[in-house]
Structure 1
Amino acid sequence: MKQIVSMVASLGLAASVAMPMVVSAQSDSLTVNDLGVNAIQGTVKLGSGDIRSTAARIINVALGFLGIIAVVIVLIGGFQYMISGGNDTKTAEARQLIFAGIIGLAIILSAWAITSFVISRLVSATQDGVPT
């Protein structure tokens, strides 16, 4: 067991010594401020849009998917309520599912409102000129 530990430690030490030589061999395609973006810019379509609007779109899409999931939960609860056949336990489970879906929708809508407000204020505060 000690031999395995010492072998792994010596391999780690050798790799940490040899790694800077490998990295420095690639420095001709990188500059200090480039970080490799110019090297791949011709092959990869990089976005030129604003990062704030991209983040807002990602958040809105995620909240949209969560809203769809909450509506599906409410629909499943409604379907279970309709087919419960008067059974009290099934009716209670269906009501609980509907209630959970409605609470989820309320949370998602409030998250959307907060996100929309924060992003609009962020955009207006970081644009050139006087914030409105």
Structure 2
Amino acid sequence: MNISLIRTLVVSGMVATPLFAFAQTAFDNLIDTVSGGLNTIIIFLFLVATVIFLFGVVKYISAAGDEEKTKEARQMIIWGVIFLAVMVAVWGFVEIVLDFIFNDEGAFDIPGSGDVPTQPQ
């Protein structure tokens, strides 16, 4: 058997064991756990895409008119923008599907997007 498959199965088993060992009463707890993990991954990927974009901007500014460096920096900027646009589109699509199928508004919450009071209470 492939060693990476064995490692993946062992790690997956170690991660999933506490969920079943504590005999949780609802499947929602597992969904909340997975959703929280996905939120963390999504935030990390947005951060990576933003860093790629900003690094491309810095390279473009520091190219000082060099054709090759400018071309390389433009490619980084373009890929950073594409990466961000695809992530936003997929995130929006997932939100729409979750809302439509499960009537679950905000399964993948945007960090810091809690309820904002409109009037002082």
TM-score exceeds 0.5: yes
Aligned partners of 1:101 and 1:121: how far apart in 2?
Answer: 30
- Which residue is 1:90 aligned to? 69
- Which residue is 2:93 aligned to? 114
User: What is the deviation of 1:71?
Assistant: 0.4
User: What is the deviation of 1:67?
Assistant: 0.9
Q: TM-score of the superposition, structure 2-length normalised?
A: 0.58
Which moved further from structure 2: 96-105 or 54-63?
54-63
- Whichever residue aligns with residue 83 of structure 2, its letter is G
Corresponding residue to 2:46 among 67, 70, 85:
67
User: RMSD of the alignment, in Å?
Assistant: 2.5
Tell me, yes or no, if the aligned pair for 1:74 and 1:102 is still in contact at 8 Å: yes
Aligned partners of 2:35 and 2:98: how far apart in 1?
Answer: 7
Q: Which blocks of at least 5 consecutive residues in structure 2 are unaligned? A: 1-19, 105-121
User: What is the deviation of 1:116?
Assistant: 1.2
Aligned partners of 2:55 and 2:25: how far apart in 1?
Answer: 40
**What per-residue deviation string (whole Å, max 9, x for no partner) do you get for residues 80-131 of structure 1?**
0111111000000000100000000000001110111122233228xxxxxx
- Which residue is 2:56 aligned to? 77
When Rg is computed on C-alpha atoms for both structures, the one with the higher figure is 1
Tell me, yes or no, if the aligned pair for 1:56 and 1:119 is still in contact at 8 Å: no
- Which residue is 2:83 aligned to? 104
Q: Which blocks of at least 5 consecutive residues in structure 1 are unaligned? A: 1-36, 126-132
Q: TM-score of the superposition, structure 1-length normalised?
A: 0.54
